[in-house]
Structure 1
């Protein structure tokens, strides 16, 4: 199965790297990008086939991943509609905020079309993605989508109307989490730990806690209770977080991100 990429920026490159790392052959990956230096780098790193045009990608691929920026799509996709209609490949869009209906207006209806929202952690193979699809997508198509995006993390299927909420908690939360990690490191610096060491401590603590949550199969509150000894240091800090509105701030951050997404 030949997988084609139109666009090979940060996210497209991450997916390409994940596929190759998981065992997919580079000569089954056809890539077009206007940045010829980028194409050459991917050829050297992943062994991909360099396409001469976006049309060439569509003509030769069983799966086409649209990895160009959303604002570029209206100038790129309409000219490919006839080729898409003839080839009838599975089309996967990773354009942020662009609905299935919006994409169909550009490339035509009747094609199997999937919308995927990955997040930045795909760059290190630990991404979180969600997908939705139109009525032309089969279970076999969905299996292909899962195969591609499981090479860079995890993926779940969601109804498209839930994508704004998903974006707020998966797409935006890496920034929230990084701010939390930096705040922990700042606190460490305040009490004498050098900033680089404090960042290492905070980042590994968050990483380890996430792994514990994923593997323990327990509710986050139950695990938190296990750390809080009666009258101890942890419960004191937890109470301070609650008194200062930590949970409310998180809920408000998600609300603000959700409402902004709904306006896009």
Structure 2
């Protein structure tokens, strides 16, 4: 199997790095767009090269990964000539399966996925729809493939990924608060990073509400902060923000 990427950005780089770290030596073709990223990937990995054009990516690939920005998808993709035997894997969050069918015909095998940057470290959960053994095996090399039975569920998983920047903004807020009160910036960043990273390691079946209760002693410091953000309605605002993302995904 030969893999081609139309679009060479952060997610493409993460997938390529993760596959090579996993020992996958499948030949990979990259779009000429984002030349710096493509050149860097080709320089550090064997059998990864940058094609002359997006069409050249398709012509030299069996699995075609669509990784362009949603804003340019309808400009870039209709100009490409897909083959009936292409397997198309779209990582474009806002483009539905029905819309893809019209763009990539005569190709009929189409899978959607929402990989995260952590696949570069082989630690990313990746939602995929519809179920496909080949794509599942690909993303199981990069973490865990979460196979979904319907597109409505896929949209919900995609919406949940919109919280990543907020997580880092939360970490940045705590770090800046510490440095403004005299802590060295690097020391604060290391402390907050390890504190939050350690919290993410949970056992199977552990309920997050249960963990929240276990981490706040009655009358303690954690309880005080939880009460503050709850009374301010910030968690309710998060629900509303995710509802807004879901509505956007569903058009």
TM range (shorter): 0.7 to 0.9
Query: What is the CA–CA distance in structure 2 between the aligned matches of 1:100 and 1:73, rounded to whole Å?
Result: 13
Query: What is the CA–CA distance in structure 1 between the aligned matches of 2:197 and 2:181, rounded to whole Å?
Result: 22
Query: What is the CA–CA distance in structure 2 between the aligned matches of 1:204 and 1:164, rounded to whole Å?
Result: 31
CA change 1:245–1:190 in 2 (3 A) is farther
1:159-174 equivalences in 2 (<5 Å): 159-170=150-161, 172-174=162-164
Q: Is the 8 A contact 1:120 1:174 kept in 2?
A: no
* Alignment match, 2:195: 205
How far does residue 244 in structure 1 lie from its aligned partner after superposition? 2.6
Query: What is the CA–CA distance in structure 2 between the aligned matches of 1:37 and 1:225, rounded to whole Å?
Result: 47
How far does residue 110 in structure 1 lie from its aligned partner after superposition? 5.5
How far does residue 231 in structure 1 lie from its aligned partner after superposition? 3.3
Query: What is the CA–CA distance in structure 1 between the aligned matches of 2:216 and 2:77, rounded to whole Å?
Result: 55
CA change 1:185–1:61 in 2 (3 A) is same
Gaps of 5+ in 2: none
CA change 1:244–1:262 in 2 (3 A) is same
* Counterpart among 140, 159, 182 of residue 150 in structure 1: 140
* Alignment match, 2:235: 247
How far does residue 91 in structure 1 lie from its aligned partner after superposition? 1.0
Deviations 1:119-149 (A, max 9, x none): 344455433422213xxxxx6xx22212323
1:1-264 equivalences in 2 (<5 Å): 1-25=1-25, 28-47=27-46, 48-81=48-81, 83-85=82-84, 88-108=85-105, 111-133=108-130, 142-158=132-148, 159-170=150-161, 172-189=162-179, 191-211=181-201, 213=202, 215=203, 217-263=205-251
TM-score between both structures, scaled by the size of structure 2: 0.84
Gaps of 5+ in 1: 134-138
Q: Is the 8 A contact 1:15 1:148 kept in 2?
A: no
Deviations 1:86-142 (A, max 9, x none): xx1211011220111111111215611011122344455433422213xxxxx6xx2
